[in-house]
């Protein structure tokens, strides 16, 4: 059975009744889903009241065929004013026979009155005729009738208009396209209605699953409307069988429920049951008793932070990401709505017209092609005299085309701001830091509420309200700043009001490189001309999106999909072939019809054959430029010795043998029997695993919701409600290259993995109390929502590809950090230290506020603060760089080890044992004691395990997880999720006297407040082997414990029955940090390195010793180890080659940093920061890189240039710090999955798979080098074929 079917006669239920039936059906399968499907009947506020009462007369649908004479009659009156048009029927094909009213409706009998000439809308005679001929809207103000331009930000307002009016302004709108386009293109219209470009199912589904809102990885939500603008349930045209399910086809998608009715997916404390009503904290919708009179009778003493006194989905006990989907302009608008028509990159129509009618959006020909010359302000070139040429919001011409420039795709594919079309362009979202002086106002801006709303309606990023680019007049000229810029170059498109920076070729240290990989000086004024801009090689050829994504990729194949990767028709090999086969030019992607599409029959808009073989060479013609064609690279030629296109580097990688031969480096053409198996064969990995120059990772995004913002819904019924969440990218990086397994739909091949929207949520209630801050949600699978997904980065290059040492152990052993990154074990570099740094001290735990609350969340005293908040930066300097705000709680002993996970702080506090503090209200001004042991009586909550001397503790991950959610057939079978390793249920505490204490901590992730008690699951200290235990590091199911005798490695594969894996004598070992194959330890000797490739057989790396007098805490981030070295301050050690560590610098901040006990490192925007627990001196904040100090700051691991930027004395001596949230760690060292993976069946590598990258079956290592070794070439071809 095949997923492809004839869909011409399929049924689409587009009526409200259909929705109800569909919902009822869904309810049968899931009681949970039932809760969600109460579409609210909210009325659009102000505009609705002004609706004109108009009786519309329906115009018959356009006929499939008619005589030319009949058609001409339908244009007569129209053309008395519209005396000229670019293409009468919009179609280039004169075989299309249509009159104006066939598509637009309207009254053709109205003819321009004699003597009336258009002199503006006040011309009464003309105006009256116009209003009779045209169809009037119900809301003339919204559509600024009679102006013809698309209005700005119309969103859901189309849903409130009659279908007659919608058809009049855009016959291609999906509400009415069946009547106009459908005459001939009905099948295509139906495909488009079900395609992801209309339903947005991938975004809604992904958001719902990754944020724990809906447990369905086979998504159930998608956008669609009936002709009347009512939300509709879409059904697949044929029943979905098992095979189709495997291909990613969905049976139906239902409308998005109103956000007010969606229960929270999060386990935050404010969403727990109970609580008093907070009247003003409620949104004004759906509250039957808004005065709360009854609830006031509640007894005193109940915590008043809970968001409702009723059940889930009341008050603010709702799912924040759904507010985001509903109201925050992110992905939307999509095909059901017009473009927002307000900024370059936002001009377009809706439905069919959205793509087939080109608007001027971008001045760069590589993105706009032949349309670049028409500017980027959405102005028209039409010959129609009635259309104003100077008003934005008009198509370039009254004309359909298939020559669609990428700039048109980009109007929607702007989001996510860091991928796909952006990466194809070699660009990613700007990080607010590079060239900050040009982008922020000299004087700090204090935007008014009006200004904020005006900007946020266009641009959801809060930083824009303070930056210069909040002004569209500034943003549209940002690229004109390029010649004056120092650290980056900007692109010339600004959809959503965003800025995009170009990615340049750099080495791992961040040095710019030219095409020959020679360094380009940071001070060279022409550095951005010399350095390679890492665009897709396809873009460089002049290609646009439509040069690879043909008719089906644009329209869909008629089935409903949830994942983009599953809905793609084209595959690299279709055009490039593989190492042993020339391309077939038949599409073969997962959504291709059986046998594929014959690309050889395709033609460009201007009439040329798109593909053609000529004398053994394959050519493609540009879809955009009638003069452009290019020869295709054929993989087979590139690996055939003797062929003019032979490329030894390509041949070596593609013909690298698999198995032992490959590990020995042997490569060469297939033997005559064709039995040679290849390591990198097309069946095993996607082409773009290697053929990418960079991948993007959005390692962090902050969604703060504010109850006081009354804002519009951008979907469905529209209208206004309170609550708004802005959208704030924090760390969009281009230096993270990570691999994993794609889902079965893509052949379960190895593919690049990106960090995909690692969200953190905050909420400010109507009293401006921060009721939770920067909380990562938990995915429906219980995994961390710091999500990852396999993806196609669209950054293909020929030279700047991935090479051997990007994925395998280098012979020089200088890629330990690269391997940790690659395998998704994380590098501790992009870790998120948010609003607060969490310090453990001799007698306290303490939260010190280290960033601004406003966006961007600049670290106080940092480069970014200086430019984004010059006044506040000045205040900070005036305070002598002292941080003003902190909160603490006393402990029962020294808190040296602490971990923040979710709203809980896990602390080992010496004689006080192990305690979990509730820190949910750390930023809530309405709560006096911000850190508490329990929100209510110890009888109801006691998160404490007494022990004799709890010296340290560790959680398997500091990302919030809920292993208890990841059970049952829905997860295991339907969603194809991996189970959690049992260690993830526990916290591991070391006690100097008692040994290892293991306790189950799942209670903090179950949303149930009444069971928060801790008990020892086990206490283990066999043979007193853990005597004097003082530090614990977890690496998968191995625990590395510092004891009196040195290092003890425990195997905790069964966490309740640890066994000793190995022991290694180290003199006074104090702390350790793990990176891939190496454990870095501090001891009486200083910094020592231990090879833990096999944790059962650890080996001291004899040569690796950096002597330090008083090494204590240690943190490893990429190629540097940061050692808190007592009076020597912060010692930064280069560990790029772990067997030969080199001290880079000792930083004491001119002697101010002289009692360093512990250190952590994290990224904020583009900069790297260290936080040091400086003993008696308290907390120190150090900016490690900034655009001022280190122009190479975009590198994988730029050399650090420490600068003290802030400090605060803690109430007692600062001893330890909680590590920032891991944002690039999806899996542990033994293969246990931590973070959620988008795409069904996709996952990080398991332990065995990881080992295959560098270990022989007997456990020994094999290594690679990038230089080609001729001796490894094995030519088994018959002698005649050799050259």
Partner 1 sequence: MKRWMMWCSTLRAASRSVSWVFLLAAPFVSMQPYAQPLPYQSPHQTLGTVTCASSLCHGSVKLWKDSNVLQNEYLTWSRIDKHARAYNVLLNERSQRIAKNLGLSQPAHEAKICLDCHAHVVADKNKGERFKISDGVTCEGCHGPAEAWVRTHVEPEGAAAAQHAKNVADGMYPTSDPVARAKLCMSCHYGNKDKLVTHRIMGAGHPRMSFELDTFTEIAPKHFVIDKDYSERKKVWDGAKTWGIGQALAVSETMSILADPKRGRDGVFPELVLFDCHACHHPMGENRWKPKTAFGPSISPGLVRLNDSSMLMLRAIARTIDPKLGDRVVQQTQKLHRAIAGEGDAFAEAAALKKLADEAVPVIAGANFSSQTMSAVLVRLIDDGVQGVYSDYAAAEQATLAIGSVAAFLAKQGAMTAPQKFNATLKKLTASLAMDEQYKPREFETLLKELRSQTGTVAATTKATAAVAPTVPAGAKL
Of the pair 598, 1054, the CB lying nearest partner 1 is at: 598
Supply the minimum distance, in Å, between the C-beta of residue 68 and partner 1: 5
Of the pair 517, 601, the CB lying nearest partner 1 is at: 601
Supply the minimum distance, in Å, between the C-beta of residue 625 and partner 1: 15
- Out of 544, 608, 808, 1031, name the contact with partner 1 by CB under 8 A: 608
Supply the minimum distance, in Å, between the C-beta of residue 194 and partner 1: 18
Residue 615 found at the interface with partner 1 (CB under 8 A): yes
Supply the minimum distance, in Å, between the C-beta of residue 726 and partner 1: 44
Supply the minimum distance, in Å, between the C-beta of residue 109 and partner 1: 23
Supply the minimum distance, in Å, between the C-beta of residue 1093 and partner 1: 56
1104 alpha-carbon distance from chain centroid: 39
DSSP 373: G
Residue 606 found at the interface with partner 1 (CB under 8 A): yes
Supply the minimum distance, in Å, between the C-beta of residue 615 and partner 1: 6
Of the pair 607, 1280, the CB lying nearest partner 1 is at: 607
| Count of C-beta atoms within a 10 Å radius of residue 647 | 16
Segment near partner 1 (CB under 8 A), from 600-608, 734-742, 918-926, 948-956?
600-608
Segment near partner 1 (CB under 8 A), from 92-100, 200-208, 811-819, 879-887?
92-100
* Positive/negative CA dihedral, 469, 471, 472, 478: negative
Supply the minimum distance, in Å, between the C-beta of residue 95 and partner 1: 5
- Out of 147, 284, 524, 598, name the contact with partner 1 by CB under 8 A: 598
963-981 CB burial, b ≥16 within 10 A, e <16:
bebbeeebbeeebbbbebb
Q: Which residues, 17 to 56, sit near partner 1 by CB under 8 A?
A: none
Q: CB–CB of 692/795 below 8 Å?
A: yes
Q: How far apart are CA 470 and CA 457, in angstroms?
A: 11
Contacts of 208 (CB under 8 A, 6+ apart): 214, 216, 219, 221, 265, 321, 322, 780
Residue 273 found at the interface with partner 1 (CB under 8 A): no
Q: Which residues, 958 to 977, sit near partner 1 by CB under 8 A?
A: none
Of the pair 608, 722, the CB lying nearest partner 1 is at: 608
Residue 604 found at the interface with partner 1 (CB under 8 A): yes
Is the preceding omega at residue 464 within 30 degrees of 0, hence cis? Answer: no
Residue 93 found at the interface with partner 1 (CB under 8 A): yes
- The DSSP bridge pattern shows strands 617-621 and 611-614 to be antiparallel
- Out of 51, 600, 1261, 1268, name the contact with partner 1 by CB under 8 A: 600
Supply the minimum distance, in Å, between the C-beta of residue 188 and partner 1: 9
Q: Which of 823, 824, 849, 851 is nearest to 838 (CA)?
A: 849
Binding mask 529-568 for partner 1 (x = CB under 8 A): ----------------------x-----------------
Residue 675 found at the interface with partner 1 (CB under 8 A): no
Of the pair 351, 669, the CB lying nearest partner 1 is at: 351
- Out of 241, 291, 601, 877, name the contact with partner 1 by CB under 8 A: 601
Of the pair 10, 66, the CB lying nearest partner 1 is at: 66
Of the pair 7, 221, the CB lying nearest partner 1 is at: 7
Q: Which residues, 111 to 130, sit near partner 1 by CB under 8 A?
A: none
Of the pair 97, 850, the CB lying nearest partner 1 is at: 97
Contacts of 120 (CB under 8 A, 6+ apart): none
Q: How far apart are CA 467 and CA 484, in angstroms?
A: 18
Residue 94 found at the interface with partner 1 (CB under 8 A): yes
Of the pair 629, 977, the CB lying nearest partner 1 is at: 629
> In a 10 Å sphere around its CB, with 0-12 CB exposed, 13-18 middle and 19+ buried, how is residue 779 labelled?
buried
Of the pair 9, 449, the CB lying nearest partner 1 is at: 9
Supply the minimum distance, in Å, between the C-beta of residue 92 and partner 1: 7
Segment near partner 1 (CB under 8 A), from 536-544, 609-617, 796-804, 1120-1128?
609-617
Segment near partner 1 (CB under 8 A), from 593-601, 742-750, 752-760, 1099-1107?
593-601
Segment near partner 1 (CB under 8 A), from 87-95, 693-701, 986-994, 1225-1233?
87-95
Supply the minimum distance, in Å, between the C-beta of residue 103 and partner 1: 16
Segment near partner 1 (CB under 8 A), from 473-481, 596-604, 783-791, 1186-1194?
596-604
Q: Which of 343, 350, 348, 340 is nearest to 395 (CA)?
A: 348
Q: Which of 431, 381, 425, 442 is nearest to 87 (CA)?
A: 381
Binding mask 424-443 for partner 1 (x = CB under 8 A): --------------------
Contacts of 1150 (CB under 8 A, 6+ apart): none
DSSP 1134: E
Q: CB–CB of 980/963 below 8 Å?
A: yes
Of the pair 94, 1257, the CB lying nearest partner 1 is at: 94
Give helix 320-327 / helix 201-210 axis angle, nearest 10°: 160
Q: How far apart are CA 674 and CA 136, in angstroms?
A: 70
Supply the minimum distance, in Å, between the C-beta of residue 398 and partner 1: 16
Q: Which of 7, 572, 594 is nearest to 243 (CA)?
A: 594
Residue 658 found at the interface with partner 1 (CB under 8 A): no
Supply the minimum distance, in Å, between the C-beta of residue 603 and partner 1: 5
| Count of C-beta atoms within a 10 Å radius of residue 1252 | 14
Contacts of 698 (CB under 8 A, 6+ apart): 416, 417, 418, 419, 429, 729, 731, 732, 754, 755, 756, 757, 758
Of the pair 598, 664, the CB lying nearest partner 1 is at: 598
Residue 938 found at the interface with partner 1 (CB under 8 A): no
DSSP 392: S
Supply the minimum distance, in Å, between the C-beta of residue 636 and partner 1: 21
Torsion of CA 1196, 1200, 1202, 1206, to 10 degrees: 0
Q: Three-class SS of residue 765?
A: coil
- Out of 114, 442, 523, 614, name the contact with partner 1 by CB under 8 A: 614
Largest CA distance in the chain: 108
Q: How far apart are CA 51 and CA 595, in angstroms?
A: 52
Binding mask 58-77 for partner 1 (x = CB under 8 A): -----x-xxxx---------
Of the pair 606, 661, the CB lying nearest partner 1 is at: 606
Residue 594 found at the interface with partner 1 (CB under 8 A): no
Q: Which of 706, 772, 1122 is nearest to 922 (CA)?
A: 772
- Out of 73, 185, 310, 533, name the contact with partner 1 by CB under 8 A: 185
Q: CB–CB of 1264/1255 below 8 Å?
A: no
Count Cα neighbours of 639 within 13 Å in the Cβ-side half-sphere. Answer: 25
Residue 2 found at the interface with partner 1 (CB under 8 A): no
Number of residues in contact with partner 1 under rule CB under 8 A:
27
Q: How far apart are CA 221 and CA 235, in angstroms?
A: 11
Supply the minimum distance, in Å, between the C-beta of residue 312 and partner 1: 50
Is the preceding omega at residue 333 within 30 degrees of 0, hence cis? Answer: yes
- Out of 116, 184, 285, 748, name the contact with partner 1 by CB under 8 A: 184
Strand partners, 501: 428, 490
Per CB under 8 A, residues contacting partner 1 are 6, 63, 65-68, 92-95, 97, 184-185, 551, 598, 600-601, 603-609, 612, 614-615
């Amino acid at each position: 059975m095949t997923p492809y079917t004839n869909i011409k006669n399929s049924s689409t239920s587009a009526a409200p009744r259909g929705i109800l039936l569909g919902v009822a059906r869904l309810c049968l399968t899931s009681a949970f889903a039932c809760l969600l499907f109460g579409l609210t009947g909210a009325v659009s506020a102000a505009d609705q009241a002004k609706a004109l009462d108009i009786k519309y007369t329906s115009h018959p649908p356009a006929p499939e065929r008619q005589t030319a004479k009949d058609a001409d009659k339908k244009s007569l009156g129209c053309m008395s004013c519209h005396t000229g048009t670019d293409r009468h029927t919009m179609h280039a094909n004169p075989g299309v026979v249509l009159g104006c009213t066939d598509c637009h409706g309207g009254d053709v009998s109205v003819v321009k009155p004699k003597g009336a000439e258009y002199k503006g809308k006040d011309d009464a005679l003309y105006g009256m005729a116009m209003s009779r001929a045209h169809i009037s809207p119900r809301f003339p103000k919204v559509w600024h009738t009679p102006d013809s331009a698309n209005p700005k930000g119309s969103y859901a307002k189309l849903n409130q208009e009659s279908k007659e009016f919608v058809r009049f302004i855009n016959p291609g709108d999906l509400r009415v396209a069946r009547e106009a386009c459908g005459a001939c293109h009905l099948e295509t219209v139906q495909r488009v209605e079900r395609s992801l470009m209309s339903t947005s199912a991938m975004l809604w589904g992904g958001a719902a699953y990754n944020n724990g809102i809906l447990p369905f990885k086979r998504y159930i939500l998608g956008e669609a409307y009936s002709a009347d603008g009512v939300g509709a349930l879409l059904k697949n045209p044929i029943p979905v069988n098992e095979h189709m399910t495997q291909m990613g086809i969905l049976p139906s998608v239902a409308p998005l429920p109103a956000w007010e009715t969606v229960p929270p997916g999060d386990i935050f404390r404010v969403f727990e049951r109970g609580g008093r009503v907070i009247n003003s904290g409620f949104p004004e919708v759906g509250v039957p008793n808004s005065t709360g009179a009854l609830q006031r009778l509640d007894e005193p003493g109940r915590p008043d932070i809970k968001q409702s006194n009723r059940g889930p989905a009341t008050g603010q006990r709702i799912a924040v990401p759904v507010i985001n989907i509903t109201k925050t302009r992110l992905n939307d608008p999509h095909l059901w709505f017009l473009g927002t028509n307000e900024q370059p990159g936002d001009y377009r129509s809706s439905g069919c017209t959205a793509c087939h009618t080109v608007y001027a959006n971008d001045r760069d020909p590589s993105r706009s092609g032949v349309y670049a010359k028409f500017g980027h302000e959405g102005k028209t070139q039409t010959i129609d005299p009635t259309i104003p040429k100077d008003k934005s919001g008009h198509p370039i011409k009254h004309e359909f085309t298939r020559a669609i420039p990428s700039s048109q795709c980009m109007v929607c594919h702007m989001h996510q701001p860091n991928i796909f079309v952006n990466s194809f362009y070699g660009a990613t979202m700007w990080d607010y830091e590079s060239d900050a002086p040009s982008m922020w106002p000299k004087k700090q801006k204090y935007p008014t509420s009006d200004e904020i709303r005006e900007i946020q309606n266009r641009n959801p990023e809060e930083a824009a309200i303070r930056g210069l680019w909040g002004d569209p007049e500034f943003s549209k000229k940002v690229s004109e700043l390029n010649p004056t810029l120092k650290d980056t170059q900007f692109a010339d498109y600004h959809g959503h009001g965003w800025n995009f920076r170009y990615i340049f070729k750099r080495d791992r240290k961040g040095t710019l490189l030219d095409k020959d990989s020679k360094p380009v000086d940071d001070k060279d004024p022409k550095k951005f001309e010399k350095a390679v801009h890492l665009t897709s090689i396809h873009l460089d050829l002049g290609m646009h999106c439509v040069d690879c994504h043909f008719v089906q990729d644009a329209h869909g194949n008629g089935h409903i999909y949830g994942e983009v990767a599953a809905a793609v028709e084209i595959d690299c090999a279709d055009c490039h072939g593989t190492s042993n086969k020339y391309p077939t030019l038949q599409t073969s992607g997962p959504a291709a019809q059986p046998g594929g599409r014959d690309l050889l029959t395709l033609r460009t808009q201007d009439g040329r054959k798109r593909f053609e073989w000529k004398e053994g060479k394959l050519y493609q013609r540009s879809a955009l430029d009638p003069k452009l064609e290019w020869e295709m690279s054929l993989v087979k030629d590139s690996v055939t010795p003797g062929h003019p296109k032979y490329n030894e580097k390509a041949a070596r990688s593609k013909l690298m043998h698999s198995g032992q031969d490959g590990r020995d480096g042997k490569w060469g053409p297939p033997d005559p029997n064709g039995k040679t198996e290849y390591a990198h064969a097309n069946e095993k990995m996607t082409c773009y695993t290697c053929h990418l120059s960079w991948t993007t990772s959005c390692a962090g995004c902050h969604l703060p919701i504010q109850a006081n913002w009354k804002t519009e819904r951008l979907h469905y019924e529209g209208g206004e409600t309170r609550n708004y969440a802005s959208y704030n990218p924090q760390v969009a990086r281009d230096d993270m290259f990570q691999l994993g397994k794609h889902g079965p739909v893509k052949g379960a091949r190895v593919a690049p993995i990106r960090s995909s929207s690692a969200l953190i949520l905050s909420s400010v209630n109507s009293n401006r109390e921060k009721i939770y801050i920067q909380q990562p949600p938990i995915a429906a699978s219980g995994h961390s929502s710091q999500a990852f997904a396999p993806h196609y980065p669209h950054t293909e290059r020929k030279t700047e590809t991935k090479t051997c040492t990007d994925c395998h152990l280098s012979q020089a052993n200088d890629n330990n950090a690269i391997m940790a990154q690659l395998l998704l074990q994380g590098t501790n570099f992009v870790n998120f230290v948010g609003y607060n740094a969490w310090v453990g001290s001799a007698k306290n735990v303490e939260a010190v506020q280290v960033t601004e609350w406003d966006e961007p969340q600049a670290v106080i005293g940092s480069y970014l603060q200086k430019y984004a908040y010059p006044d506040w930066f000045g205040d900070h300097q005036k305070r002598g760089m002292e941080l003003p705000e902190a909160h603490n709680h006393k402990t029962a002993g020294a808190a040296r080890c602490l971990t923040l996970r979710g709203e809980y702080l896990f602390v080992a506090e010496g004689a006080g044992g192990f305690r979990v503090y509730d820190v949910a209200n750390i930023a809530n001004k309405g709560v006096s004691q911000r850190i508490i042991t329990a929100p209510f009586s110890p009888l109801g909550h006691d998160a404490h395990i007494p022990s004799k001397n709890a010296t340290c503790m560790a959680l398997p991950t500091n990302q919030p997880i809920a292993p208890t959610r990841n059970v049952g057939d829905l997860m295991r079978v339907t969603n194809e999720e991996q189970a959690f390793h049992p260690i993830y249920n526990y916290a591991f505490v070391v006690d100097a006297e008692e040994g290892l204490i293991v306790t189950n901590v799942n209670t903090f992730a179950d949303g149930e407040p009444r069971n928060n008690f801790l008990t020892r699951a086990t206490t283990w200290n066999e043979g007193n082997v853990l005597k004097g235990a003082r530090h614990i590091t977890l690496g998968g199911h191995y625990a590395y414990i510092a004891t009196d005798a040195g290092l003890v490695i425990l195997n905790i594969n069964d966490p309740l029955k640890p066994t000793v894996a190995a022991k290694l004598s180290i003199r006074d070992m104090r702390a350790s940090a793990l990176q891939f194959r190496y454990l870095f330890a501090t001891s009486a000797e200083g910094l020592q390195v231990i090879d833990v490739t096999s944790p059962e057989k650890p080996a001291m790396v004899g040569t690796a010793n950096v002597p330090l007098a008083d090494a204590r805490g240690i943190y490893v981030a990429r190629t540097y180890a940061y050692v808190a070295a007592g009076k020597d301050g912060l010692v930064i050690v280069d560990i790029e080659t772990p067997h030969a560590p080199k001290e880079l610098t000792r930083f004491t901040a001119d002697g101010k940093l002289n009692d360093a006990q512990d250190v952590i490192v994290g990224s904020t925007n583009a900069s790297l920061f260290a936080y040091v627990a400086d003993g008696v001196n308290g907390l120190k904040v150090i900016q490690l890189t900034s655009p001022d100090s280190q122009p190479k700051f975009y590198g994988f691991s730029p050399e650090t240039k420490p600068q003290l930027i802030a400090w605060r004395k803690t109430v007692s001596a600062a001893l330890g710090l909680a590590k920032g949230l891991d944002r690039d760690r999806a899996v542990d060292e033994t293969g246990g999955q931590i973070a959620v993976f988008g795409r069904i069946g996709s996952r990080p590598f398991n332990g065995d798979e990881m080992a295959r990258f560098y270990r022989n079956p007997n456990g020994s290592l094999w290594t690679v080098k990038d230089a080609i070794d001729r001796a490894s070439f094995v030519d088994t071809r018959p002698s005649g074929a050799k050259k």
